[in-house]
Each structure stands twice: as C-alpha cells, then as structure tokens.
Amino acid sequence: MIAAQDRKIAIWNIGVAYIAFLIGTLCGLLQVFIRNDALQLPAWLDYYQILTAHGVLLALIYTAFFIFGFFVTGMSKTLGTFGPKVWLFSWIGFWVTLIGTVMATVMIVIGEASVLYTFYAPLKASGWYYVGLALYVVGTWISSFALIGHYLVWRKKHKGEMSPLFAFMTIATLVLWLIACLGVVATVLFQYIPWAFGWTDTINVELSRSLFWYFGHPLVYFWLLPAYMAWYLIVPKLLGVKVFSDSLARLSFVLFILFSIPVGFHHQLTEPGISNFWKFLQVVLTFMVIVPSLMTAFSMFATFETSGRKKGAKGLFGWFKMLPWKDVRFTSIFIAMAFFIPGGAGGIINASFQLNEVVHNTLWIVGHFHITVGTPVAMTFMGMTFWLIPYLTGRQFTKSMQTLGFVQIITWTIGMLLMSTAQHILGLLGAPRRTAYSAYNNHPSALEWFDGIVTSHVTMAIGGSILFLSAMILIYIVVMTMFLSPKAVKPEDIIEFPLAESDRESSPKFLENWKIWIGIAFALIFIAYAIPLSSMIQHAPPGSEGFKTW
C-alpha cells in the first residue's frame, strides 16, 4: 500500500469527483425528461442551467478529479512516496482546482452562467464564472507540475533507465493537458474576463471559439488516456499476462501528444471565417490521431489472445471464453472497450469533412459523446473505482459489492444503449442539439422524430432513468467502500493495485526523450494554427457584445 499522506490526496480527489458525479447525473435525469416534454421546470430553474451543470460537473469536474486521484495513487506506487514539495504542491493544486470548481458551480446554480460547458461567445456569463474556470485550470496545472516534479526527481536518481510505464503515461497525459490548456487560458484571460467584467465592449467570437477548440479536442484525450492506462496496464494484470508491448504503448501515447492538439477545426467545419484549406489540413491530422487508438485496439486483442492461449484456448476466438467474466473489474472495462468501437467509428464519421455537414450540431453528436466519454471513459473509471477506493481506504470489496458492481455496469450498459442509439437516430433525422425541447410549432417533421420505437419519448425516458439508477448504485458502492465496508484484515480480503509488468528496458530510449516530442508537437501546432489564428486577429470582424438569453 502507498504512504498514508499520498493516499489522503488521492481519496480527497476521488471524493470530490463523486460529489460532482452525483449532482451531474441528477441534472442528466432532469434533462432527459425535459427534452422529452415530460417535465416542466419551475420558473426559477432553467433548462440551459441544468444542461450547463450536467456538462461541467461530469465532463470537466468528475473526470479531472478522478484522473488526478488515479495519477497520485499510481505515481506514488510506481515511483515511491512523494517528497515534501510534491506533497505540498499536490494539495495546493487540489484546493485551487476545488475553489475554481465551486466558484463556477455557484455561478451556474444562481443562474449567472447558463452558457453550456463550451461557453460559446457571444453568450455572456458572470465574469466570476470565467475566473472560476481559470482557477480550475491553474489548479490542475499546479497538480500536474507536482507530479512532473516527482517524476524528474525519480529520473535524476535513475539515470539512463526507462521510467515505469505508468509514470511515462502519466507524464504524456499531463504534457498533452498543459499544452492543450494554453488555448483556453488565452481566451479566458484575454478575451472573456475583460469582456465579462465590462473592461472591453466586444469579443472576437471566431477567435474565442477557435482557441476553445484548440483546447476542446485534446481535452477528450485527457479523459481517454487515463482510461487507456487502465486498458494497457490493469487489464493484462487481471488476465495474468504482461503488457503486450511496452514500446507500442509508449509510442501510442507519444502520437497522442503530437496529433491530438492541431485538430480543433474539426469541431468548426461548418463555421464561416476559416478557409477550407486549414479545415482540410486539420481533418487530415484528425485522421492521424485515430492511429494510436487503432494501435490500442490491436494491443488489446493481442493481450486477450496471449492470455487465452496461455490458458489453453484453441481456434480463432477460443480466447473469448477464457476471459475472466466473473471479475467485475475486468468485465466493466471490456464493455467500455466494446462501446468504443461504435464510439470511435462515429468519431471518424464526424471528422469526415462532408459527413460532418449531416451530423454537426444534431443529437448525433450527443450520442457520440455518450459512447466515448460517457461509457468507454466513464465505465473504465467505474471499473477502476471498484478496486481503487478499497485499495486506498484498506476496506473490503465484499462479494455483495461485486454483485452490485455487476448490476451497476449492466444497468449503465442498457441505459446508455437505449439513450445513445436514440440520440444517434434522432440526430440523423435532423433533431438539433444544444436546444431545449421544441416541437417547432408542431411541425410534422419535428413530431415524426419521436415516432420510432427507439426514439420515442418513453424509450428515452426509460434509458435516462436506468442510467440514473445505475449512477445511484455506484454512489452507494463509493460510500460503502470509502467509509462503511469492513476493514480488510485477512490477506485474501486486501485489495491490490493491479498493475501489469512491462518490459520497459526493451523500449528504445528516444521514446522518453520529451524534448523531441514536445518540439514536434509545437511545430505541428504552429503549422496548423499560426496563419488562421493570426488572420482572425488581423482581419477581425467587428466584435460582438454579450448576450444573456436565459
């Protein structure tokens, strides 16, 4: 077990993550009913307020705090107990992130920031909302630098050695995060805050959106990579084998640093003001960022196959039966992976320049992110929660908890299948996103959207309710394993951190030469963004004043 002082940081991070998860999923439940016209909100509560809270609390807050909880635990386990400076900065990072989170959440709750998690200008929230967001980012930076410091100390002491795979992957994810945040920091500090406090009258909308998406796309890999860490490092351990290839795993993370950032325009393909050439260039780079996910899929199948063969499996798919289905830690992650097959395929559709015309800003995209971040990432985090909290608290993950864990992941799977399939179909039929329920003056086309069996109001509501039930079961498991389950005393009750071995010394040293990768990443960012961004500044259209539409 890791040192108590490091465990405490991890537990607090995970605790905050699950408070955000609880409120965020409740907002999700309300949303499904409102969007189906089955619920009328009281006058003091607004649909967009709930939608903003849902997006911010689940996509930004739950993920970030959980990820840091996981990183702190794994870095302490693989590189040793934190020194006093790393410990101090991890706490400072945690508190600053939390203060930012609370500020932003309060602004949403009091109705001063119903601008959704993408906070597109010219919608204008209270200036304090943007200050909250800025503090959130600064806090995560402080936590990131603390972990990077811990890694540098280890490297100094282990000159010439490859770092453990967990540490390498953590640093790669943090490097990606630090570079990605530059965009959002620039727009929040230099555009939104002066505008929202009235120091400037107008905002350059195109520039603000482009800087947001410079950040917004790598943001999704900041969520995905910790899930991939579990796929690469935890799954083989549960299967009783080593990591399939240490160098393949490292290379795939390096490719994410290179290609996940200069691609933000694929979220703006329908926007005027950016020439087709730059959009096309970023579409090509988007197709490059698919490669490391395909490498990951390959590596997973190889891991399943190796473990199956080891257990005597025969034939092409014999390994399938040999997988440890009764272990909820594994089954949860396997379902998460399976969801990512259609999730990733949907991403490829979105990224295809012409097809994007069909799906952009429709409910299809909402379906897409529920089967990327909402299941592959979230369900991997759920599967990790089952052992991570008991590992940190020294409590048991009892048999009844294991059974409840299965109920939880199965209900999540059913709920998500119903809801996301409906969203994909509704999107193809033309139903828009980012809007509250509207029948468009009872226009026949709009009414037809909800005529299908899967797309009916009833099915959607059932899907959403099942998801909420599942979330509540998870909260129950979290509370039990955090505070109430019996302490693990007998060796068989003690929960370990299931970390697979990897042949790190077989990997080429240049994979850990960060200067090369960060240098290439900046060169690609420069190529993809320098000219279009400078032209947005030089040929800036008249800016927009702010609008409060709620």
CB of 89 to ligand HAS, least distance (A): 27
In the bound state with ligand HAS, the residue whose beta carbon lies nearer, of 82 and 222, is 222
- Verify binding: residue 232, ligand HAS, rule CB under 6 A: no
Site for ligand HAS in 379-418 (CB under 6 A): none
Does position 251 interact with ligand HAS (CB under 6 A)? The reply is: no
Active site residue 136: no
Contact by Cβ (8 Å): 129, 108: yes
Q: Is 360 a catalytic residue?
A: no
Indicate whether 267 belongs to the interface with ligand HAS (CB under 6 A).
Answer: yes
454 binds ligand HAS (CB under 6 A): no
Q: Which is nearer to ligand HAS, 21 or 87 (CB)?
A: 21
State the angle between helix axes of 165-187 and 514-538 in degrees (0 to 180), rounded to the nearest 10: 10
C-alpha of 409 from chain center = 18
| Residue 282 touches ligand HAS, criterion: CB under 6 A | no
Whole-angstrom distance, CA of residue 292 vs CA of residue 71: 21
Q: Is 370 a catalytic residue?
A: yes
What is the rounded radius of gyration, in angstroms, for the C-alpha atoms of the chain?
Answer: 23
Is 433 noted as a catalytic residue in this protein?
yes
Cα distance between residue 276 and residue 347, in whole Å: 20
Among 344, 367, 383, 543, indicate the residue that binds ligand HAS (CB under 6 A): 344
Instruction: Spell out the SS3 assignment of 361-414.
Output: CEHHHHHHHHCCHHHHHHHHHHHHHHHHHHHHHCECCCHHHHHHHHHHHHHHHH
- Choose the catalytic residue: 309, 360, 434, 457: 434
Element at 41 (helix H, strand E): none
Give the active site residue among 54, 150, 433, 504.
Answer: 433
Is 221 an active-site residue?
yes
Rounded-to-integer distance, Cα 279 and Cα 116, Å: 25
- Does 250 sit near ligand HAS (CB under 6 A)? no
Q: Which is nearer to ligand HAS, 11 or 363 (CB)?
A: 363
Question: What residue number has its CB nearest to ligand HAS?
Answer: 344
Nearest to 244 by CA among 289, 291, 297, 288: 297
Applying CB under 6 A, the span of 104-112, 290-298, 305-313, 501-509 interacting with ligand HAS comes to: 290-298
Count Cα atoms within 13 angstroms, Cβ side, for 405: 27
Closest approach of Cβ 541 to ligand HAS, in Å?
A: 22
> Helices 328-351 and 276-310 sit at what angle, rounded to 10 degrees?
150
Q: Which residues pair with 123 in a beta bridge?
A: 547
Instruction: Print the binding letters for residues 345-364 with ligand HAS: x by CB under 6 A, - otherwise.
Output: --xx-xx----x---x----
- Which position among 337, 409, 431, 474 is part of the footprint of ligand HAS (CB under 6 A)? 337
Helices marked H in 110-234 — which ranges?
Answer: 127-157, 165-187, 193-196, 205-229
Q: Which of 35, 266, 368, 395 is catalytic?
A: 368
Task: Output 182 or 297, the one with its CB closest to ligand HAS.
Answer: 297
> Residue from 365, 409, 477, 478 that binds ligand HAS (CB under 6 A)?
365
Look up tokens 């395929």; give the residue: 345
Q: What is the C-alpha to C-alpha distance for residues 243 and 502, in angstroms, rounded to an integer? A: 5
Residue 301, interface with ligand HAS (CB under 6 A)?
yes
Catalytic (active site) residue 47: no
Instruction: Determine if 233 is a binding residue for ligand HAS (CB under 6 A).
Output: no
- Considering only CA atoms, which of 329, 474, 331 is closest in space to residue 387? 329
User: Is residue 209 part of the contact set for ligand HAS (CB under 6 A)?
Assistant: no
In the complex, the residues that contact ligand HAS under the rule CB under 6 A are: 118, 220, 223-224, 266-267, 286, 289-290, 293-294, 296-297, 300-301, 337-338, 340-341, 344, 347-348, 350-351, 356, 360, 365, 368-369, 372-373, 377
Which residues form the catalytic set? 217, 221, 368-370, 433-434
